[in-house]
Structure 1
Amino acid sequence: MQQKAPEWSCTSAGLTSTRRDAHGTPTTTFTPVAAITAPAPVSVLADDYDTWCESSGTCHRVIDASRYIGETKGNAVYGNSSGVIGSFDVIIRNSLQGRRGRWTVSLIWDLGPSLTFSDSWINCYEVIDLWPDADCGDHALYPGLISSGSWRWNSPTIYGNNLVNSAAYYAAFNTDFTPAGYSARTAPALETARFKCYGSDPCKF
């Protein structure tokens, strides 16, 4: 709001803001913020995605004693120079299977106009010390519209690549979204907690 950005979206990862020149060409910048991770206890509810971690930063939790299943939630808010337009949630669930991830993504409408999503991906990364993290798989998603009348979308299971290196890994959800009546914008990536695939053992959180 201090920048009076005409288009912006914000999560606990940071702020993306877009300005357009006289020809309508957009320029998007990303401003990271200090990491805020709010660990959350395992829920006793069967499905609490719309209530868990609603007013925190990015939340991670491991939901089984064997440490094979982990979930991450991020809250996104977006708007323009006049203020907030709307908000939505992203939840990533990773059910590890041996040496690969199995991801599902849930999108939940919270406030504002209906949302359509495009260029949506789950990206797998291998953690490389002192180097950029290595790509270990890019998997496209095709979310449906979410709105007050159809407020949740759940993806099919995305099966990751076999992870052969002894290393730590994580995934990130990347997407563009378009609120009804407004232009498309980019959401900051939501990164999961790291999981470890050491030696020849199965991967675990």
Structure 2
Amino acid sequence: MGDHRRRVVGVAAVAGLVAPLALALGAAPAQAAGSCTTQTGPRQKQVEKFLGRPVDGRQSAADCKAIKAFQTKHGITPNIGYAGPVTWGVMDLMNKQKAVGRTPNKAGKCPVNKGRIACVDLTLQLSWIQDGKDLVYGPVPVRTGRNGYETRTGLKKIYWRHIDHVSSIYHVPMPYSQFFDGGEAFHSVGVSMWNPPGSHGCVNMTKTTAKKYWSLLKTGDDVFVYGRKPGT
């Protein structure tokens, strides 16, 4: 445990983690693999509106196809086109993220007296880089620690960077890693930022975002994490 390289806890392995959560929340009825459900979900109207479908609150073949495509894209399982709470939770978060626009620190929760700092809003699953009150980059969607592996809150500093890091615990690639708290780091992943249930504590990013953070931040820069991820 003395070597911080061995304490890296990185991103969660995706396979096999999402379905148990979805089923526990009653996300969808039992359905044969690969099929499309004819059942109307409890969030049918909200999901139809989000996807630009006719809002009639009744499941159709076209509705199911559109919902299923969304679920497949973002790793929501079972991906059978059911308008349940997990699917709507992702859509609702997307709506809230979009509403933030270019003022992610409007409430002033991320310090503006630290110079350049990377901010992470767990509640909205957004991150950005600011310098004082000036927005430098973002906000961008991120994927943080799931229930039981919550990304720790507070003021931290980037203490180690490794561009080609591989987790010593989970044995998964963590490109563009910038560590700021024990094994927690910014790094890129190859899954959707809205893929439930989340990481093992790291702040996951797209490759584009992780590369930008790598170019804008350096060892010693501040990181501030606040809020609470939905579902934790």
TM-score by length of 1: 0.27
Greater strand fraction, Structure 1 or Structure 2: 1
User: RCO (CA 8 Å, sep 6+): is it higher in 1 or 2?
Assistant: 2
Greater helix fraction, Structure 1 or Structure 2: 2
TM-score by length of 2: 0.25
